[in-house]
Structure 1
Amino acid sequence: MGNTTRHWMPEGLKYILVSSLAFALMSSCVKLVSTYDIPVLQIVAARAFISLLLSYAVIRRKGIPVLGNNKLLLTLRGVAGVIGLMCIFYALTILPLAEANIIQNLTPVFTAVLAISLLGEKVHRSTIACIALSLIGLVITVKPGLLVNSATDLPATGVIAALFGAVASAIAYTTVKKLSTTEDSSVIVFYFPLIALPVSLTLLGTDIVMPEIEALVLLILIGVLTQLAQICLTNAMRVEAANRVTAYSYIQIIFSMILGGLLFNEIPSVWTWLGGSLIVTGALINVFGNVRKQSQVSDMKTRTT
């Protein structure tokens, strides 16, 4: 049975499907637990606490220094991650599940812009196409009233929060790309909860709400599902090319649409489908454009050696 499964489904695809489903379920849990009047900062703190314990256990098992080498850049990664998570969690409490995930998937666009400006990467046609299609898709998704008067726009507060979350996540990803040459991946992951927990608890102050049993279970699930998603994503990156992992990961939007309909009776509008399709198309053009560019560079090196 196992050999049959491996034959028709690549191992990397299995990992990314589980990761995407776990991320979508985590988003659903965030949206559900917010109905129990649990503050967003408390949700962030609960998620960080579980992640801190699990990440620390992994580092101890590896026997590597807990705080890493480049502490300044690691701290920046942690701060950006905290801001991104707070904004994304807040957006999930306001926006429909599918729309929040679509806007969150603008992270690759902002990452491409930051890579050009901060890491000195070259501007390619695929990147320009990605940015253009994603911006058009964003406008169609959040502001369809510009095209059709009868269309309903998304709440501005939720959209702004989701966009800030995507930008902060892009900063975190760009920092991770820089850190990956000097730091163990477990240390990079560890810095997020290391900073997120004290920051969220400090900002939360005395506004902590004692959760009911159902809310407590959801808070625990948020941490566990996030850790499961990250582990599966890491395994997918280990056994599959990064471009394919990125392409596969957009299945999370489909999972979010299904869960939004089942749990919250949210039916995506035609504008969500159209705008989301443009955003995903733009991202995939950039992914496969980069693959083609790398292939051409590799061919050039082969010919000159």
Structure 2
Amino acid sequence: MNKGILYIVLSGLMFLIVNVFVKTLGAGSDALLPGLQVYPVHEIVLFRSIISLIISYAIIKRKNLPVFGVNKKWLIIRGICGVTALTSFFYTLNHLPIAIAVTVQYLSPVFTVFFTYLFLKEKVTKKQWLFSLIALTGVFIIGISKYLSSNTKVSEIDPIWVGLGIFSALSAGVAYLAIIKCKETDSPINVVIYFPMVAFPIMLVLSFFEFVVPVGIEWFILLIIGVFTQFAQIFMTKALHYGPAATVMPFKYLGSIYALMVGMFIFGEFISFYAYLGITIVLIGILGNTMLKKAKKA
């Protein structure tokens, strides 16, 4: 198997586990483990950044790499946008069905196409713009799905949180652009460490005003969130280093299918036909765009 594809699949599975635990702690869900405390998002990000900083620094020192990397401008942009994207995404996980939150966040490659056109002067075809519009149309359908369905048993989908998901995807799109910009200058671990370097001081200040002291198994869950997110980020960055994004990124979108199953069987989330339709249209738009990029580079 192509190394890039292997890394992106492993990254997706680790992110799925992280998303389940984040939703369990952040949304106060008893579906997975009853009796857990509810944690503010900034505290979850704080623990994640502490663990990531320790692991990243240890790897960098072992490899004798410069801690602050080479392409500092784009590494800082990657850190800021990565923190913004992840924090926003964690909020959407707490307020939307997991399948919806994950799918909307997958819009990031659509925004990456726009940003590479804007900053890297890469040519974007009319078909690529068309598929981008299709993906955005799918998100619009998801956003208004609660107004289209008369079924009161389906999970609530608030368009405000869908909007935050779009903002998260936009921020992630810039972060992916930064990863591409640093591909030739910096090691994947140098790219990854800029997330905790930016996140730690910000989340530490926010946690000063609102902090929940972990007890029992909650320490283990927070550790899993930090470690798995760290290696998911490393694997995702390695995937973009080992193979063209157009080749490896389609395998990332298996996460929508995983999230649908997890939402139904763990969290008891059931979405309407129109939400399913929106998810399908989003994935058609994203995959179509990715395939066009692959064909253009062939």
1:23 to 9, 15, 21: 15
Cα separation, partners in 2 of 1:270 and 1:136, compared to 1, 3 Å: same
Cα separation, partners in 2 of 1:206 and 1:148, compared to 1, 3 Å: closer
How much does 1:18 deviate? 2.8
Question: Structure 2 matches for 1:283-294, cutoff 5 A?
Answer: 283-294=286-297
Cα separation, partners in 2 of 1:61 and 1:72, compared to 1, 3 Å: same
Deviations 1:265-301 (A, max 9, x none): 1123222221111111111111111121112xxxxxx
The question of whether the paired residues in 2 share the 8 Å contact of 1:52 and 1:194 is answered with yes
How much does 1:244 deviate? 3.0
Query: Could you tell me which amino acid in structure 2 is paired with residue 44 of structure 1?
Result: V
How much does 1:234 deviate? 4.6
Query: In the alignment, what sits opposite 1:278?
Result: 281
Query: In the alignment, what sits opposite 1:106?
Result: 107
Cα separation, partners in 2 of 1:272 and 1:31, compared to 1, 3 Å: same
Aligned to 1:267, the other structure's residue is in SS state coil
The answer on 1:61 being equivalent to 2:62 is: yes
The answer on 1:33 being equivalent to 2:25 is: yes
The question of whether the paired residues in 2 share the 8 Å contact of 1:98 and 1:268 is answered with no
How much does 1:237 deviate? 4.7
> Which consecutive residues of structure 2, in runs of 5 or more, have no partner in the other structure?
29-36
How much does 1:16 deviate? 3.4
The question of whether the paired residues in 2 share the 8 Å contact of 1:257 and 1:268 is answered with no
Cα separation, partners in 2 of 1:12 and 1:116, compared to 1, 3 Å: closer
> Which consecutive residues of structure 1, in runs of 5 or more, have no partner in the other structure?
1-8, 296-305
Query: In the alignment, what sits opposite 1:218?
Result: 221
The question of whether the paired residues in 2 share the 8 Å contact of 1:111 and 1:170 is answered with yes
Aligned to 2:115, the other structure's residue is in SS state helix
Query: In the alignment, what sits opposite 1:3?
Result: none
Query: In the alignment, what sits opposite 1:299?
Result: none
Deviations 1:189-208 (A, max 9, x none): 11111111111111222311
Query: In the alignment, what sits opposite 2:43?
Result: 42
2:253 to 227, 238, 250: 250
Query: In the alignment, what sits opposite 1:132?
Result: 133
How much does 1:56 deviate? 1.0
The question of whether the paired residues in 2 share the 8 Å contact of 1:129 and 1:285 is answered with no
- Larger-Rg structure: 1
Q: Which runs of 4+ in 1 moved over 6 A?
A: 149-153
Query: In the alignment, what sits opposite 1:233?
Result: 236
Identity %, equivalent residues = 34
Alpha-carbon separation, structure 1, partners of 2:231 and 2:85? 19
Alpha-carbon separation, structure 2, partners of 1:29 and 1:66? 30
The question of whether the paired residues in 2 share the 8 Å contact of 1:104 and 1:166 is answered with yes
Query: Could you tell me which amino acid in structure 2 is paired with residue 276 of structure 1?
Result: I
2:173 to 156, 159, 170: 170
The question of whether the paired residues in 1 share the 8 Å contact of 2:25 and 2:38 is answered with yes
TM-score when scaled to structure 1?
A: 0.86
Query: Could you tell me which amino acid in structure 1 is paired with residue 276 of structure 2?
Result: W
The answer on 1:51 being equivalent to 2:43 is: no
Alpha-carbon separation, structure 2, partners of 1:194 and 1:41? 15
In the alignment of these two chains, the number of paired residues is: 287
Q: Which moves more between the two structures, 52-61 or 179-188?
A: 179-188
1:268 to 255, 266, 271: 271
Deviations 1:27-66 (A, max 9, x none): 1110001112211000001111111111111111111111
TM-score when scaled to structure 2?
A: 0.88
How much does 1:123 deviate? 2.1
Query: Could you tell me which amino acid in structure 2 is paired with residue 66 of structure 1?
Result: V
Aligned to 1:212, the other structure's residue is in SS state coil
The question of whether the paired residues in 1 share the 8 Å contact of 2:188 and 2:237 is answered with no
